[in-house]
Amino acid sequence: MAVQKSEVIIVGSGLNSLVCALLLAKRGVKPLVLERNAQFGGCIRTTELFPGYHHELMASWYPLFLGGAAYQRLQPDLASVGVEFLNNGYTTGVVLPSGQSLALKQDVPDAIQRLEQFAPGDGAVLGEMATEIFEKNAELLFGLLGGSPYQWSTIKLLYQQWRKRGLDDLLAFTAGALSSFRSWSQQSLQCPQTAALMAPWVLHSGLGPQDAGSALIGKLTFAAVVAGGMPVVKGGGQNLVDGFVQLIRQHGGELLTEVNVDQVLMENGRAIGVQSGQNQYLASKAVVCNVTPTQLYGGLLKEVAPPVQQAANRYRYGRGAMQIHIALKEKPQWANAEMLQVPLLHLAADLDQVSMSVMEAECGLIPRVSTVAVGQPVAVDASRAPDGGWILWLQIQDMPRELKGDAAQSIQVTAEGWTDAVKEQVADRIVSQLVPHIPNLEQAMVGRHVLSPQDLYRLNVNLVDGDIYSGACSLDQFFWFRPFAKKGTTKGHQTAVKNVFHIGAATHPGPGLGGGSGVLVADLIK
């Protein structure tokens, strides 16, 4: 039996783990990161699927990271090892079934003018949204998202906001925060094409337009993208991972791949390390787990209080996702040539279509018509493809985790679920939605690679049955309640064991490439 010692053990090597490890290492606390897979990075994985084409198999875009505390604290370090982020001045857009389209730049006043021309009467809504997010409610919103719900600073923030704004104003904010995007859009938008532009961004938060809380998170996400852009890592996300690994080692930390942690080792009610097969990795200060609550309380921590175990058993996972990676030998011939500049656009019809596809997926059905996120990384980083080539990164976030049937009743679904035959037929349906808008798509295609919800789960065990957000993001599993409301001695990132901490998408501030929980937990470990 081999024994290795460090000060902090970090289970998993996703972005939150890497952020946590580097912040600790810079403070002189020695971390050891243990990754079950053959490469570091969690959901960040750049792969050359076809010769010369470098695809992001899972995560791709970094607006949350560049706008968050992790990057503010680590920017000089990452730059010192050659990590560079690229932005091309465009942000998002939409293509409607009619062929009408809109491309938005990273410029709120310009975006307001473009939206007004696209959907007369709705340009002012974007201006009001930007004021609401970045001026009136910025201190409260970003304070809540950037801090731990259980820290005194959060209570102090709420008290200060009450004194500053008054109870009526805070109650009005709360009412708006609890509203669904569907309700807000029906009250606020004049044109269906505006809802088609904005509603798909609700799906990027793990919610649907009909869910409570989706109005605020949808507006926040959309406004943040328009203001901050859709940056990528030059050369691919793997360069960011490699940069973190280099920096962690430079500061005395260590990282190991192909180490599958079986359990947290306990002694006198305190964690002393972890077990992997016959090997032990001992930690003198803390164990940090970047896993789902199911893994944490169903495997790694063998004995926890019944209320904690019951809460973990009730933790719910959300819809599945699918990705289709397409390599093209030439640029797509969008009817509106400006769409070639847009990093991430959506194919959507209207609010009803976005809502319906979500509901079909949540009922276990392959949607008749999906909302399709069309990523174009080459628009931002030309190094991803050969000269003249192009990449389409398609993400479909309205797929069932548990496959029961096909809403259109044209794809035969069996008890085997997401077979290769089924996923390819679904991919054919998705691609057929693109063909009318990109007439050269099929003849320009070098190849395509399809990842079903189960394929995504196999790539990363935290994406349970293809849930790319590691748990439903409904209000009962968010903020104070993520992963669940205080049970026993658990609260936020503090687990039922005093020196065991929980980070990752299943914890506050939730999913996305931000690194927020890694920062919060690094600051807790003394």
3-state per-residue secondary structure call for 393-461: EEEEEEECCCCCEECCCCCCCCCCCCCHHHHHHHHHHHHHHHCCCCCCHHHHEEEEEEECHHHHHHHCC
Whether residue 308 contacts residue 57, with contact meaning beta carbons closer than 8 Å, is answered with no
Please check the confidence at residue 258 and state whether its pLDDT lies above 80: yes
pLDDT at 114 over 80: yes
Lowest-pLDDT choice from 159-168, 330-339, 470-479: 159-168
pLDDT at 169 over 90: no
pLDDT at 153: 82
Statement: residue 199 has pLDDT above 80: yes
**pLDDT-derived band of residue 139, with 50, 70 and 90 as boundaries?**
confident
Look up the pTM and report it: 0.94
Pair type for strands 445-451 and 85-86: unpaired
The percent of residues in the chain predicted with pLDDT above 90, rounded, is 82
Report which residue type is found at 39.
Answer: Q
Superfamily of domain 3-85+235-315+473-524: FAD/NAD(P)-binding domain (3.50.50.60)
254 close to 33: Cβ distance less than 8 angstroms: yes
Tokens of 195: 């809802």
By the 8 A CB rule, do 201 and 225 touch? yes
Report whether 471 contacts 401 (CB < 8 A).
no
- How far is 141 from 381, CA to CA, in rounded Å? 32
pLDDT at 366 (0 to 100): 98
In angstroms, rounded to a whole number, what is the distance separating the alpha carbons of residues 218 and 225?
Answer: 11
Q: What is the pLDDT of residue 304?
A: 85
Looking at per-residue confidence, does 216 or 429 come out higher? 429
Half-sphere exposure of 464 (CA within 13 A, CB side): 15
What totals of helices (H) and strands (E) does the chain contain, helices first?
20, 20
Confidence of residue 489 (pLDDT cuts 50, 70, 90): low
**Domain ranges across the chain:** 3-85+235-315+473-524, 107-227, 316-459
The mean pLDDT value of the chain amounts to 94
Query: Is the per-residue pLDDT at 90 higher than 80?
Result: yes
Q: For the chain, what is the radius of gyration of the CA atoms?
A: 23
Map tokens 């708006």 to a residue.
176
Residues 503-526 have a mean pLDDT of 94
pLDDT at 80: 98
